[in-house]
Amino acid sequence: MKLYWKEKNSGLDLIVLDDNDDEFIVGGVRLTKKGIEAMAKTQGYDPGRAIKGLTTVEEGKSFVEQFKPWIDFFGADIELNPEIH
């Protein structure tokens, strides 16, 4: 499995690429008119895993990464590839 950030029009998605080459989004950082937002996916409801009003994309990435959402869905700690795809 691979873990990396993927660029998209509205920001970045944190992606797990599984052994079948399927992509699963486990978090994201969005650039909005009101600023930068970030969220780490969860299997339940946890409003503490989303934040608005950030000033940099790096802040958003760090916010998402601190939760290690990939462990919630895949049960393994995967090394994050530093390159943005």
pLDDT digits (tens, 9 = 90+) for 18-30: 999 999 999 999 9
pLDDT band at 2 (very low <50, low <70, confident <90, very high): very high
User: Which residue is listed with tokens 């399927």?
Assistant: 22
What residues does each domain of the chain span? Answer: 2-75
Q: Mark 21-43 as b/e (b = at least 16 C-beta within 10 Å).
A: eeebebbbbbeeeeebbbbbbbe
Stated pTM of the model: 0.94
| 33-85 confidence digits (pLDDT tens) | 999 999 999 999 999 999 999 999 999 999 999 999 999 999 999 999 999 99
Report whether 25 contacts 40 (CB < 8 A): no
What the block records as the tokens of 39 is: 């969220």
